[in-house]
Structure 1
Amino acid sequence: MKLVVLLFSLSVFGIHSSYASTAQIQVSKGQLETIDNFKSEYVDDRFLYVWLPPGFTKDNSYDVLYMHDGRMLFDSKTTWNKQEWRVDEVAGALIEQEKVFPFIVVGIPNAVENRHSEYYPQQPFENLSREKQHALYQLEKYPGYKLFASKVFSDNYSRFLVQEVIPFIESHYNVNRGAQHRYIAGSSMGGLISWYTLLNYPDEFAGAICMSTHWPGIFEEDSEVFAEFKHYIADNISKLKNHKVYFDYGDATLDALYPPLQKEIDSLFSKQEYPAKLWQSQYFPGEEHTEDAWAKRLHIPLKFMFGKPDN
């Protein structure tokens, strides 16, 4: 397991050291627009990708999927590991086949070396003892490089999404406005920030896609860290009413850590008697913690969130 964690940590460093500016990317389906130098009062300024689906027309309006780790979504030629989520291909095919209602995707890049601090759920972190927080801040991805490059600031990241990104998209694109038309999605740490943002802003989103959610929070098993995630969800799950929630996980590479933890999260939804039609937790034996793995099954949560009846 330590080898898995080391390899994953090195790959994350590859992301951080290679992405300081907008990548020139291409999509196979639909159109991609780039919003450069998007200003924020809450987080570092960055760019945004806005994917417009096949058949996009200003005469129609669209629901929106907000996705984390935006650099990894569309074009493997520009990613550190030459993998991608294939969002344009997967979503585009579903739309062309009329299996889902057409929607727009907003890709939000992570904060490079601050990715862990930006995506780690802040309130569960701050519920840990000061001694525990201090110990976590000392963790290194490998010698000389801290796992947390700064203090955890995911509450500000969520504010950035809700108070800055969403208003911009809804004022500049012909989208359906209101919480019932907005969804949030990510994998790994992006899975953590997706459910966390949904719980904190249930009046702003209709659902969350959390793929290969990184329940350990750090890159070693730590029951205290996971317990705070679990407690936070247990304390806040009642805020969710008609929201759709999707979890999934494999059991290879980093995903090998997830099956027992995800089962504990599933039990919270079961005990809450959360409507079966509104949440899913899917297990994919043999699947790894990679963009290729997420691309293979991305159609499942997209159909769950945006699917047309009888499709």
Structure 2
Amino acid sequence: MKYLLVVLTILGSISLTAQEKVEFKTLEKAVLASGTQLRVDAFPSEYITPRPVDVWLPENYSDSKKYVVLYMHDGQNLFDGTTTWNKQEWMIDEWATSLVAEGKIKDFIVVGIHNIPKIRWQDLYPEKALTEYMPDKVRDSLIAEAKKVNYNIDLKGDDYLKFMVKELKPIIDKQFSTAADKANTFVAGSSMGGLMSMYAAIEYPDVFGGAACFSTHWPGAIPSPNNPHETAIFKYMEDNLEKSGTQKFYFDYGDKTLDQYYPKFAKRVDAVFKAKGYSDLDYKNLFFEGADHSEKSWNKRLDTPLIFLLGK
């Protein structure tokens, strides 16, 4: 018994030490409109592959006040276009600065979780849609086809959410002055990140007060006729989305490049949320004509979901 207690104590100490080693460092050369960008180069995790995590703090950040927290996927594309692959950015720091100054939204910080390109799909796919809502024969066939071309279909969506909720959020709430309750915690992303934002809010309704889902990739994989992914995703939503009253959901879509595949899903999305009692007060699904699938398009309309979710 004594030996077991010693082992447990040691393991607990190791876990605590790992947490204490999470240190966000200022990115001195970050090109920002205002505020400060901090980073952990490899956030430790027992659930997913470690990756960089950024935190953006507004210009007058103070420990004397509590801040809303917006968790965002694809964190490397949020703040500084000089460092991104396509030289585009969400411009979240620009929008946050102007909207707060205008008194339209609450003070907030942004937590940006970087993606790892080779496993982005596996991390951001709403896992239960495939494992619980796709017919066995269909799922087995998809897995077999993926193996033929050496494609990794080892989904990590549920572990990705465990990372967010059980590992990342506790550190953020400990190290920064946050309003940690559901009413002040939101999640956002685009494309597969839009799917994961929806999935996060549905899977953890006591953690996230709302989700902003840009150009949500409803096909789930490569768009194709008779796509089993989209059918499974909507079945998952129908069964698991809670009734209206405690969360807000924002969706949008354009009609250019990859977004050209999304308009046909609008009525289907609306029907799911209408059946659960959602109205204009807690649900939006907006069409932006001429918008394509890019950070440039998403940043043009970023003010709309920010005001919808974080408005005063």
TM-score range, shorter chain: 0.7 to 0.9
Encode CA deviations 1:191-224: one digit per residue, 9 max, x unaligned. 0000111111001110000010000011222432
Q: Which residue of 2 aligns with 1:129?
A: 135
Q: Which residue of 2 aligns with 1:295?
A: 299
What is the letter of the counterpart of residue 305 of structure 1?
L
Q: Which residue of 2 aligns with 1:72?
A: 77
Encode CA deviations 1:43-68: one digit per residue, 9 max, x unaligned. 01122100011321121110100000
What stretches of structure 1 of length at least 5 have no aligned partner?
1-21
Give the 3-state SS of the residue equivalent to 1:34 in structure 2.
Answer: strand
Q: Which residue of 2 aligns with 1:4?
A: none
1:263-282 paired onto structure 2 within 5 Å: 263-282=267-286
Encode CA deviations 1:207-265: one digit per residue, 9 max, x unaligned. 00001000001122243211111111111122553101000000111001001113201
Give the 3-state SS of the residue equivalent to 1:77 in structure 2.
Answer: helix
Whether the 8 Å CA contact 1:138–1:146 is kept in 2: the answer is no
Q: Which residue of 2 aligns with 1:9?
A: none
After superposition, the Cα gap between the structure-2 partners of 1:239 and 1:50, relative to the gap in structure 1 and judged at 3 Å, is same
What stretches of structure 2 of length at least 5 have no aligned partner?
1-26
Q: Choose from 2, 5, 28 the match for 2:33.
A: 28
Give 1:299 shift. Answer: 0.5
For these two proteins, the number of residue pairs brought into alignment is 284
Q: Return the alpha-carbon distance in structure 2 between the equivalents of residues 73 and 162 of structure 1.
A: 21
TM-score (norm 1): 0.86
Whether the 8 Å CA contact 1:70–1:108 is kept in 2: the answer is yes
Encode CA deviations 1:104-138: one digit per residue, 9 max, x unaligned. 00000113200000001101111323443344446
1:194-213 paired onto structure 2 within 5 Å: 194-213=197-216
Q: Which residue of 1 aligns with 2:63?
A: 58
Q: Which residue of 1 aligns with 2:192?
A: 189
Percent identity between the two aligned chains:
38
Whether the 8 Å CA contact 1:26–1:32 is kept in 2: the answer is no
Whether the 8 Å CA contact 1:202–1:239 is kept in 2: the answer is no
1:46-195 paired onto structure 2 within 5 Å: 46-126=51-131, 127-137=133-143, 149-195=152-198
For the aligned residues, what is the CA RMSD? 2.2
Q: Return the alpha-carbon distance in structure 2 between the equivalents of residues 240 and 223 of structure 1.
A: 29
Encode CA deviations 1:18-74: one digit per residue, 9 max, x unaligned. xxxx99642122111112321001001122100011321121110100000000101
TM-score (norm 2): 0.86
Whether the 8 Å CA contact 1:114–1:150 is kept in 2: the answer is no
Q: Which residue of 1 aligns with 2:253?
A: 249
Q: Return the alpha-carbon distance in structure 1 between the equivalents of residues 307 and 270 of structure 2.
A: 20
Q: Return the alpha-carbon distance in structure 2 between the equivalents of residues 147 and 199 of structure 1.
A: 32
Q: Return the alpha-carbon distance in structure 2 between the equivalents of residues 157 and 44 of structure 1.
A: 9
Q: Return the alpha-carbon distance in structure 2 between the equivalents of residues 92 and 43 of structure 1.
A: 32
Q: Which residue of 2 aligns with 1:233?
A: 237
After superposition, the Cα gap between the structure-2 partners of 1:286 and 1:146, relative to the gap in structure 1 and judged at 3 Å, is farther
Which stretch of the first structure deviates more once superposed, 268-277 or 181-190?
A: 268-277
Which stretch of the first structure deviates more once superposed, 206-215 or 258-267?
A: 258-267
Instruction: Report the structure number with the largest CA radius of gyration.
Output: 2
Q: Return the alpha-carbon distance in structure 2 between the equivalents of residues 41 and 56 of structure 1.
A: 31
Question: Hey, which bits of structure 1, 4+ residues long, moved more than 4 A?
Answer: 137-140, 144-148
Q: Which residue of 2 aligns with 1:16?
A: none
Which stretch of the first structure deviates more once superposed, 219-228 or 179-188?
A: 219-228
What is the letter of the counterpart of residue 168 of structure 2?
V
Q: Which residue of 2 aligns with 1:286?
A: 290
